[in-house]
Chain A
Amino acid sequence: MLMALFLVSATALADAADVGKSLSVRTFTFKHKQAENAAAMIKSLMSADGTMSIQSKGNSLVVTDDPENLKKIAAALAEFDTAPQPFRVNVRLVSAGRNPAAKQGRVAEELRDIESKLTLLRYNVIEPVGAAEVTGKEGEPGLIDLTQYRADFQFGQYDPASDTIEISNFKLSRLDGDQLAPMMKTTLNLKLGQTVIMAVTRDARSNRALMLVLSAKR
């Protein structure tokens, strides 16, 4: 009896699944952003049955997916295809060291919000080097000038799916004498409102590190 119940249920469910598998097609044409970038942005939102093709001639994207998923994709693309928006990027530079002779002191007032995280990294000498905030729109360059250090980058595109702004080609240089010596170059995805502590050091046993504390907001 139980077996029969399951067999009937399974047949009915298979029929229901076939009905739910119908796919819809929509074409999205972009005014402000490139279709290629939009395609990369929605990749993670697509279902296993979804497909897309880029029509570079009309800067559009043809997406095939189930109707429910297509709604989510449409909403994300509508938010993505907006005129370049302004963002604020805050950068704090912190010098960190391990000195067995020194006691763990209290960190400076301007680093209190991340004190608990900094102590996790087991550096007991923590000194702020400088801080700056820069505002710019997507695609614009950004420059942060601190006493001994300089960072230049480009405001990349905002990705609504992950709520991140790309900070492209972030180049950090240090003033050696009267010349700027490049230290590192990276591209970062900063989630809006999230603070990122990037501890940079030569190796895990090193007693010194430079910490970049970054955050981005609208």
Chain B
Amino acid sequence: MMNCDSFRKRFHTGTEDAALLEHLRSCDRCLDFAAHVDPDVLFRSLGGSEMTPPGGLDAFVSGVMQQVRVRDAETVVATRRVVLWPRRLAMAAAVGAAVFGATMVYRVDAPVEQGRPRMAARQTGQAGLPVLHHQALTTKPVVAAYDSQNATIVEVPSEGTDDVKIVMVFDENLPADL
């Protein structure tokens, strides 16, 4: 069984080494590494090097890697959720007591709490409204409309920072040299 170190030393673009491709099927971290070095490796490891996925190879690779990351995250979350049943019971009791206590406090304070915002609203009025400093509250698709019957538009999800957005437009009506 190959380990990750020797895989990364031996892996190169265009490799067909069966042992390397076999390692990829069982190791998500090396799959991530390999997809960055050579996106075609996903196809070779599946044994389908001549296939072209709909939307293009990059979109496919990006989609697969996203799924791998989601699966990783799910595994981590699932692992952390393992709690013994006596501890669960203790937690439930603690939460219940906290909720009960908080609602009792809320009921006692309710008339006072309801009065406070009204006073504050009167004092600040229109000028007291929070001003939006161009902080986006919603997102819009980059391409709002595209005039063509035969076009496919793919917006590649941004990774972390959203300073650059990639949009692919496949349009059969474009000039023949494209």
Contact = CB atoms under 8 A, between A and B. Distances in A.
Nearest to B131: A75
B178 A208 contact: yes
Interface string B89-118: 000110011011001101100100010010
A191 interface: yes
Contacts of B103: 8-9, 12-13, 16
B129 A75 contact: yes
Contacts of B160: none
Interface stretch (A54-62, A116-124, A128-136): A116-124
Interface of B: 39, 52, 54-58, 92-93, 96-97, 99-100, 103-104, 106-107, 110, 114, 117, 126, 129-132, 134-148, 162-172, 174-178
25 contacts: A5-B97, A12-B103, A71-B129, A78-B129, A117-B166, A120-B166, A159-B140, A162-B140, A163-B134, A164-B140, A184-B146, A184-B148, A184-B169, A184-B171, A188-B144, A189-B140, A190-B142, A191-B162, A192-B134, A193-B163, A197-B164, A200-B174, A201-B168, A201-B174, A204-B55
B166 A200 contact: no
A5 B96 contact: yes
- Counting chain A residues whose Cβ lies within 8 A of the other chain, the interface size class is 35 or more
Interface of A: 2, 5-6, 8-9, 12-13, 15-16, 19, 44-45, 67, 71-72, 74-76, 78-79, 114, 117, 120-122, 159-164, 166, 174, 181, 183-206, 208-210
B96 A19 contact: no
Q: Is the interface of A mostly helix, strand, loop or mixed?
A: mixed
A188 to B, nearest CB: 6
Nearest to A118: B166
